[in-house]
Amino acid sequence: MKLPDIPKRIVYLDHAATTPTDARVVEAMLPYFTENFGNPSGLYATAREGADALSGARERIAKILNCGPSEIIFTGGGTESDNLALFGVARKYGANPKWGKHIITSQIEHHAVLLPTEVLKKEGFEITEVGVNSDGEVSVDAVIAAIKKETVLISIMYANNEVGTIEPIAEIGRALAKWKKENGRGPTEPPFFHTDACQAAGALSLDIAQLHVDLMTLNGSKIYGPKGVGLLYCRRGVGLLPHIVGGGQENRMRSGTENVPAIVGLACALELVSEHRDAENARLAELRDYLWREIQARVPKVVLNGHPSNRLPNNLNFTVLDIEGEAALLYLDEYGIAISTGSACTSTSLDPSHVILAMGKPYEYAHGSLRFTLGHSTTREDIDHVLTVLPPVVALLRSISPINLSLDQKQDDIAMRGAFVTDGTPHWMQKSSK
């Protein structure tokens, strides 16, 4: 076995994990570290500079979201915003016997949504996780059918971070509005609709009026903004119980001195991606389609994960049968290519991707799944480097693999249940067999 002799080239294709911060964003942030560093709550000059920057950023973002500035709560990132939406609405309305303790979400949500629901379950909430079809799409009808009179919150992501499938957010929002009307619920009464838009923000419209959402999570680190900053849009009249309390900043919904440089950076980053969205989407989709077309031509036995067309323009996720994703990832890294995988081996829990399993794909599809996510810096030369490296790496790993699956093999044929390391069955297969 010999590694192919191909020169290394640094190719970053993991933009769904995080993006580099745009130089213009960094520049906009810089004055707020050392010059205009004042605490926006203060009354003297440098504090007023901070307060002005803060309200300026809020207004600029409100313009992009087509909402009121007071409807924006700045937070420490996407996970915090998701947590605030889930815990905030659930604990505010769940405690009131007039409403109830039921939440609807999907099986393919990010852990920042799924794990709060686990916590809320222990607090007596009932959680309904609606499934997805084989392309990863949530059905509007399934969401609406799951609503009960106790439902206080529906949380469905705008676009999936792993497979890139875009969810019908506006349709769910409209259908919920219709349900509320028919059931005598006002717009400021539950159930409310939250969407995690972190992955979608770079590529899709964030116009609240079109999306019909009550709450929306955004963050900086996926849109060439700084890490550690995010926001929760929260429609006027929708109540939240804050979980970070103290000085009462952000209208008491998120205490703590505002991270002014990061918030300024977030506003700048959102403006930049909104401005260049259409042209960049077209450029990325073309590169992505070229990559997938050529991979199919050069690598046997590959399967697309996610929707063939209704997906983020920068996302390609596919499974290479018979090889394990982490091994492939590390070999690609040796040639300078950075990607990610849904293999159990890269997750801290050693669980395979819950998204790929939710789409009804066999376990081995998750273990051999590779995600390439393109971004601003991606060029045709980068894609060509991948196309040079990937086929020999796959061939090499297949040469040392003892298995040879066929594309139309069924789950039960492959899963030799009694053959695991300890002659038992791993826990995630037991869950599914219940």
Partner 1 sequence: MDDTNATPISTSDMQSSDVVNPHTKQKWAYSAIVKEHFFHPKNLLLEEPVEGQFDARGTVGSPACGDVMDIWIKVDKNSDRVTELKWKTFGCGSAIAATSMFSEMVTENGGAKIEDALKIKPQDIMERLGGLPNRKIHCSVLADKAFRKAVNNYFHATGQHSRVEVEGARVVDARMNITDKDIEEAVLEGAQTLEDVQKKLKVGVGDPESIPEIEQLIRFYSEKYYG
Which residues are at the interface with partner 1 (CB under 8 A)? Answer: 1, 3, 14, 16-18, 161-162, 322-327, 330-331, 334, 340-350, 352-353, 355, 362-364, 367, 371, 399-403, 405, 411, 414-417, 419-427, 429-430
Question: Burial code of 355-379, b = ≥16 C-beta within 10 A, e = fewer?
Answer: bbbbbebbbbbbbbbbbbbbbbebe
Environment class of 283 (CB within 10 Å of its CB; exposed 0-12, middle 13-18, buried 19+): middle
Q: Which is nearer to partner 1, 101 or 371 (CB)?
A: 371
Helix (H) or strand (E) holding 433: helix 427-433
| Phi, psi (deg, nearest 5) at residue 372 | -110, 120
* DSSP conformational letter for 71: G
- Give the nearest distance from C-beta 18 to partner 1 in angstroms: 8
What are the beta bridge partners of residue 12? 338
Helix (H, G, I), strand (E, B) or coil at 283: helix
387/7 Cα distance (integer angstroms) = 13
Q: How many CA atoms lie within 13 A of 147 on its CB side?
A: 26
What are the beta bridge partners of residue 73? 232
* DSSP conformational letter for 227: S
Contact status, residue 25 vs residue 269, Cβ threshold 8 Å: yes
Q: Which is nearer to partner 1, 226 or 342 (CB)?
A: 342
Helix (H, G, I), strand (E, B) or coil at 201: coil
Q: Which is nearer to partner 1, 244 or 414 (CB)?
A: 414
Contact status, residue 289 vs residue 143, Cβ threshold 8 Å: no
- Give the nearest distance from C-beta 363 to partner 1 in angstroms: 4
132/295 Cα distance (integer angstroms) = 26
Q: Is 345 a catalytic residue?
A: yes
Q: Which is nearer to partner 1, 188 or 432 (CB)?
A: 432
The residue length of the chain stands at 434
- Give the nearest distance from C-beta 63 to partner 1 in angstroms: 29
- Give the nearest distance from C-beta 239 to partner 1 in angstroms: 31
What are the beta bridge partners of residue 137? none
Say which of 67, 198, 268, 345 is annotated catalytic: 345
- Give the nearest distance from C-beta 323 to partner 1 in angstroms: 7
Q: Which is nearer to partner 1, 63 or 111 (CB)?
A: 111
Q: Which is nearer to partner 1, 36 or 217 (CB)?
A: 217
- Give the nearest distance from C-beta 420 to partner 1 in angstroms: 5
Q: Which is nearer to partner 1, 265 or 352 (CB)?
A: 352
- Give the nearest distance from C-beta 350 to partner 1 in angstroms: 5
Helix (H) or strand (E) holding 286: helix 260-298
Residues carrying an active site annotation: 345
